[in-house]
Amino acid sequence: MRIRVITTAYLFEKRKQQHIARGYRIEDERPIPVNGFCSFVAVSEIPDSDGVRDLVAQPLDGVLR
């Protein structure tokens, strides 16, 4: 899964460290602010056993039973 994180310049490093701590890999850093905002792409690999279908089915199983 890839998400683009857009944040203010003064929170850029903090947000990046938060995503690293959660296990994301950081790509495409844009630390120079444009209109006051910086960005980066946080990438997390979902293992085959934890596919999107399984992730969606887990909450639904609890509600439907």
Query: Splitting the chain (65 residues) into consecutive groups of 10 residues, what average pLDDT does each group show?
Result: 93 95 94 95 74 58 50
What is the reported pLDDT for 1? 86
Domain count, the chain: 1
Could you list the residue range(s) of the whole structural domain that residue 35 is in? 2-64
3-state SS of the chain is: CEEEEEEEHHHHHHHHHHHHHCCCEEEEEEEEEECCEEEEEEECCCCHHHCHHHHHHHHHHHHHC
